A = this chain, B = another copy of it.
Amino acid sequence: MAGRDHIRALLRPESVAVIGASKDPRKPGHVLLRNIRDGRFAGRLYAINPSASEIAGQPCFPSIANVPELVDQAVIVLRRERVLQAVESCASVGVKAIVIVTAGFGEADEWGRREEAKLRELAVERGLAVIGPNTIGLVTMGGDYRGSFVPFLGWTDGPTAIVAQTGIYAGAVALEMMMQSSQRLGIHVSIDIGNRVSVDELELLEVLAADRQIEVLGFYLESFANGRAFLRLAAEVKRSKPIVVLKPGRTMEGAKASMSHTGSLAEDDSVVDQLLGEHGLIRAADEEEFLSILKAFSFAPLPRGDRVAVVTYSGALGVMATDQLLSRGLEIATLDADTTKRIKGILPDWQTVRNPVDLWAGVDADPAETLRVGFSSVLADPNVDQVLGLLLAVPPADFQGFRQSLAEIRHGAGDKPLHLVMAGGLRQYWTDAVDGLGVPVHSSIRQAARAMGAATEYVQRRHLLPSAHMESE
């Protein structure tokens, strides 16, 4: 385990040196330097390259030993043969945190595995906080430190932290997220820990759990470094912060493909599944679910219970939503008589009002009033804990002031979650329109149901701790 100050130097460096900085603007060693510079990084930034005096406007020195201060963090972008020596140099001058971008170690050949063992030994001996080898790096402080060669043009800070035991996954997720026109997951910390030579998910869980700006934690793990300790700590942390785990390897071939290290935890996926559940962690089945669930926790209030009202512009979508919600352990709420009475007022006399509530017949006469009364009625219903809205973003359903109406509906809903799924040609326009209102918009009914189910399960089980006999197993 790296020391406290070493982890601080990894996540909140005050000075950074890029070893292997390049003058070629297409090379990662250049892009990385420029990314840190072009972000809002407030610390000092140095380039290390024996054949330049400045790169991208940053002072350049021939080696880490020549830098006029003791830097917190070094980012290494060198050929693999030169990495070990660079790490030794860093250690000898007192650098605390090291990001090894270079690949070709434990995931590669025999030479790489031997070299990685030496890196690990060195890191442990000196208490260094190392991520990589084989990582695209990390972005922390809500985007103020962009220690990665992926060029993030913008960044939205927020309550989420993502840790991935892989080279590029967390970075790719973050990049995609930050280029969306709306519904960006606000990310405070995003780390690809790569081959995991020193800093592991357990250490990061401990640090991130203590960070008051972080409210939700997402882990992509192919194996556990120390499964029992991670689960024990996670079971504590999840009482105040939901933890979502994306762990592939459900199939034997999948497990083979991940070349997971033989951890202390059983390889049998059903055991993994059971243990995650018993410790109150939420397991995402795939990358879409992972993001939908994180979105639910980041954007919406926690639900009080499992009774869902579905408000829909299409009967068919309502039927499909019923199937999906029930299969996620949610209930279809029985609406209060007052609610059905209020909704009847905006629909033709002949229409029976039941849950799912089909609003389509009212849309033609007055789309704004139909939306307002339809949603505010079910959100005010004492028999309803959360609402799923299925909107067809099509004429004649569209109207001026859609965002304002949704803002009022959301405001009037108090602490009840409202999730939306949009279909129809104006889908992106409507999705953008509700941005920032605290309303998650999911890509499909399946994702919405999964996210609502996960949030509900979390609320029901957050105070459970695994029983003593399980702990002592």
Contacts and interface: CB of A to CB of B under 8 A. Distances in A.
A457 B395 CA distance: 39
A356 interface: yes
B112 A350 contact: yes
A286 B352 contact: no
A385 B361 CA distance: 49
A178 interface: yes
A250 B109 CA distance: 49
Contact of A360 (B167, B176, B316, B394): B167
A254 B323 contact: yes
A104 interface: yes
A363 to B, nearest CB: 10
Contacts of A250: 323, 327
Nearest to A153: B425
A47 interface: no
Nearest to A323: B254
Interface string A397-437: 00000000000000000000000000111110000000000
A151 interface: yes
A384 interface: no
Interface stretch (A65-73, A92-100, A371-379, A442-450): A442-450
A374 to B, nearest CB: 16
Nearest to A449: B286
A346 to B, nearest CB: 15
A350 B116 CA distance: 13
A427 B319 contact: no
Contact of A315 (B166, B251, B443, B444): B166
19 contacts: A112-B350, A166-B316, A168-B392, A169-B317, A172-B423, A175-B425, A179-B425, A248-B319, A251-B323, A251-B327, A253-B322, A253-B323, A253-B326, A253-B332, A254-B326, A258-B319, A286-B444, A286-B446, A288-B446
